[in-house]
Structure 1
Amino acid sequence: MKLNHLNLCVRDLTEAIAFFQHLFEFRLLEQKGDAIAVMNDEQGFTLVLSKMRANLEDYDRYPKDFHVGFYVDTAAEVDQFHQKLQAFGVASEHEPKWMRGGYTLYFTALDGILFEVTSFNE
């Protein structure tokens, strides 16, 4: 069985598209107005971004431990990503560091979604 896609609900679809294009090199395949966008990466993973409905304000937050994680091959790539993130204007709470067996960067973006970029190699 192969995970085919993930639907991530976001408040600002335009911001989320730019975020995934510039930082994670996803390609925009299709967009339906300001409601939904379909993207994919170099490995063939499909990311669907859908705009949260405004009338669901009490139910539109992800749980505290929810996060989106990416693996890269080397610790240097984590550092390079951190520099790219800063240049894009997204702050991280800390520098990348070794934890739980990997070199990891955590940061929050897109109105509160936690992201992780990790390498298990030096």
Structure 2
Amino acid sequence: MLLNHLNLCVDNLEEAERFFIHYFKFKARNDCNDVIKVLQDESGFTLVLSSLGGEHPTYPFSFHLGFYVTTAQEVDEIHQRLVADGYSTGVPKIVRGQYSFYFQALDGLLFEVTATE
């Protein structure tokens, strides 16, 4: 079985689309409109961003989006880009045996970036 897609409700579709494209190498697909943005990553995973029409989405405590990259250097590069762009992030460190960091963006969504090597 293969997880095909995830629908993530966000406050600002355009901001979220730019964020995922810029920091996590997603590509925009053509089947987008004013209510949804459809993105795809390098492995073929589809991320659907949707708007609740002005209602702020809420997620449970500890809900987060985790991204794996191959090396610690990639973790550091993403961290440095986020910090340079004004995001407040945790410092990359070893967590549960893997090099990673956490940060919040897009109106409070929690993100994790972890190296697999």
For the criterion TM > 0.5, the same-fold answer is yes
**Alignment partners' CA distance in 1, 2:15 and 2:86:** 12
Task: Give the length in aligned residue pairs.
Answer: 116
Return the TM-score normalized by structure 2. Answer: 0.93
Q: Equivalences for 1:25-64 in 2 at 5 Å?
A: 25-30=25-30, 31-33=32-34, 35-54=35-54, 56-57=55-56, 60-64=57-61
Give the structure with the higher percent helix: 1
Q: Is 1:112 paired with 2:105?
A: no
The aligned counterpart of 1:71 is 68
For residue 5 of structure 2, what is the aligned residue in structure 1? 5
Structure 1 runs (4+) greater than 6 angstroms displaced: none
Determine the C-alpha separation between the residues in 2 that align with 1:103 and 1:52.
35
Deviations 1:16-62 (A, max 9, x none): 011001011111103212x10001011101000001232x45xx211
Question: What's the C-alpha RMSD, in Å, of the aligned pairs?
Answer: 1.2
Cα deviation for residue 79 of structure 1 reads 0.6
Gaps of 5+ in 1: none
Equivalent position amino acid for 2:87 in 1: V
Supply the distance in 1 between the matched residues of 2:86 and 2:22 (Cα, whole angstroms).
12
- 1:86 alignment partner in structure 2: 83
Q: Give structure 2 stretches of 5+ with no counterpart.
A: none
Following the alignment from structure 1 to structure 2, what is the Cα–Cα distance between the partners of residues 25 and 101?
25
Does structure 2 retain, via aligned residues, the 8 Å contact 1:101–1:120? no
Offset at residue 76 of structure 1 (A): 1.2
Matched, 1:102 2:103: no
Percent of residue pairs identical: 53
The residue type equivalent to 1:26 in the other structure is F
